[in-house]
Chains A and B, each alone.
Chain A
Amino acid sequence: MEKEFYVADESIATAVFLALTMEKPLLIEGEPGCGKTEIAKVIAKMNNTDLIRLQCYEGITANQALYEWDYPRQLLHIRLLESSKSTDEIASEIFSEKFLLKRPLLAALLHPGPRSPVLLIDEVDRSDEEFEGFLLEFLAEYQVTIPELGTIAAKRKPIVILTSNRTREVGDGLRRRCLYLYVTYPSPEKEKKILRLRIPDFPAKLSDDVVEFVQRLRSLPELTKKPGISETLDWAQALKTLGVKEISSGVLSSTLSCLIKSEDDLAQLKSLGIV
């Protein structure tokens, strides 16, 4: 995985390997900005296949995830055929795959190959329970039923990665069908390695300082939003762009917006005398 610029420790590597060999979906939970989504992207790159992404949100429906009939084109088509063909012929024609808009789940099932695609169902906790229930069937059978066309089964089982930020607890049914991995903030050594890999010509001394400072921020119980790895990378990138040699209080106060994203947290840091 390191070839694709991802530092995986043993548990992540094992999880990915098992998900691939056991052909089971992998549910990844963890703090924001710890590289959950990145895992799916890296698997797609590693296997040299497509990444199909379904971003879940409040109120997502089966139509938006699975398929929809292309109504405007169907209507136009009906108008064109009205005079020449019979009703039955028109019906069979407009309800064909030609007029089917494939949304991510169906696209993953119908993927032409040659390798199975990676299907990333991102932030599944943001969707409603009804949608989660609908996913259960999809994940168990890897098939969907379209009333007008019949049941469509997967040609190749897609590699499914689900991520959750725990804005609500994902149901037991969904958990049972998946392998489960919890990712948390990395150790200092791992974080340094990530920095080295992602920002190659970043000075080693500075990278030590950056990691040490971020780790210290994470250990503060007063902060409501702790900086994740993506924040560390942003900050390091900012420091590199500014051509900073070492972290001084002036540099800190001008670049802290990369790490701290809320006013209250900033005030907290000020009151603690860190900034």
Chain B
Amino acid sequence: MEEIRDFVLLLSNRLRSHGVKCGVSESIDGCIAVKSIPIKSMFHLREVLRLAMIKRVDDYEIFDKIFEELMNPLRQISRPDEPTERMPGQGGGDQRRVEKGTGQSGQSITFYSPMEVLMKRVLPAPSRDSFQQSKRVIKRLRRRLALLPGRRSEASSSGVLDFPNTIRTSLKTYGEFLRVAHHRRKISRCRLIALFDVSGSMDAYTTFLMQSMYALARQGVALEVFVFSTKLVRVSDLLRFFGPKRAAEKISGDIHIWGSGTRIGSCLQNFLQKYGGLTTKGTVVMIVSDGWDTGEPELLDMAMRELKNRTGRIVWINPHADKPGFKPRTIGMETAMPYIDLLAGMASLQNMRGFIRFFGNELQPITRKPMTSRLGSPSQQSRQ
């Protein structure tokens, strides 16, 4: 028994050092579980400990590796891979090659590449003031975009009978019920999912991206934040658990796709496949991108249509949309336009004036009819 206890403690220690949430209660659970079931084999022991100590499927892989490591201490097993998400069969772009600094010394030729730029970069940490400001804006934004019934209720002519209120009003007439009150739940919540384009063309807005990403993740209510360029990475946890400075460090260290090319279509497709469960008719998807896309427009069209049919609203924030005379002319924008409920510029996330300008009173009603392909139809005019 002593042995098992020591083993469980060692295991939970290792798990913790690999970033798995495994506290004292998990260790206790592990010990009790092993005690209460006759262990037949090593495989069985692993099953039992995993059941009791691991609480999310993403940690299964790390657990298996650590368990293996502890069982066979002689065999050297490499550390678990970076927790990034790769698309099957899509490593990094097509056959075009990056040619940097070829030939002449001291002279470098740089041109466009759809490859992943696998390098670290130093990201600015969002300052406290800017965070507070974005938080305010996002709070109002959420209220404006709300699609889901919240906790509070409002009086209405139909809906559920409101007994407390009925009795209260009956007091005026000495306990005789003349009017029956009804109430229903007020639409006040919004489940927001944000997808940020961090490709090279968005480089100029890095500060803004970091700031709004951080503010969005910290808002808390069922919110997921993803970044994408050539592939899609979920960053909500990174942003949520670390302070602004650490989060910036972590993201620049862990996520290597910053400044790559863009494949919006395949990233959205990937999002729908892997995280499709996150989307319901009550979800608002917010995509921050300039629409420069190097993937196939058909793929983007398909992904946008699917997204549109599965979510409540799509908001597209384009950094150029604030500029006078802006027309959604990039291929990505043209393809995506028919499916977008709201197109807005950066200003809408940066200050109140921009926000009110774009989200003032003109939220469209939500179409519930499934959309069919509209590729090739004349693009809609922007909301400028």
Contact = CB atoms under 8 A, between A and B. Distances in A.
A17 to B, nearest CB: 6
B341 to A, nearest CB: 20
Tell me whether chain A's interface is mostly helix, strand or loop, or mixed: mixed
B221 interface: yes
Interface stretch (B30-38, B136-144, B202-210, B242-250): B30-38
A18 B306 contact: no
Interface in A169-187: 169, 172, 175-176, 178-182
Contacts of B151: 128, 130
Interface in A49-76: 58-59, 71
Contact of B55 (A71, A180, A221, A264): A180
Interface stretch (A111-119, A160-168, A191-199): A160-168
Interface residues of B, number: 41
Interface stretch (A7-15, A98-106, A150-158, A229-237): A7-15
Interface string B260-282: 00000000000011001110101
A181 B273 contact: no
A179 B32 CA distance: 12
A122 interface: no
Contacts, number: 82
Interface in B31-69: 32-33, 36-37, 43-44, 47-48, 51-52, 54-57, 60
Contacts of B48: 14, 18
A182 B60 contact: yes
Contacts of B148: 58-59
Contacts of B23: 176
A166 B302 contact: no
Contacts of A224: 272-273, 276, 306
Interface residues of A, number: 33
A179 B277 contact: no
B277 A24 contact: no
Interface in A213-256: 221, 224
A166 B277 contact: yes
B238 to A, nearest CB: 14
Given A175-B55, A182-B60, A224-B306, A71 B29 contact: no
Contact of A264 (B161, B280, B306): B306
Contacts of B306: 224, 264
Interface in B325-361: none
B378 interface: no
Interface in A18-33: 18, 21-22, 24, 27, 29
A24 B149 contact: no
Interface of B: 21, 23, 25-26, 29, 32-33, 36-37, 43-44, 47-48, 51-52, 54-57, 60, 88-89, 148-149, 151, 161, 163, 185, 189, 191, 221-222, 272-273, 276-278, 280, 282, 302, 306
Q: List 4 tightest A-B contacts by C-beta distance, closest first.
A: A175-B55, A182-B57, A71-B163, A180-B55
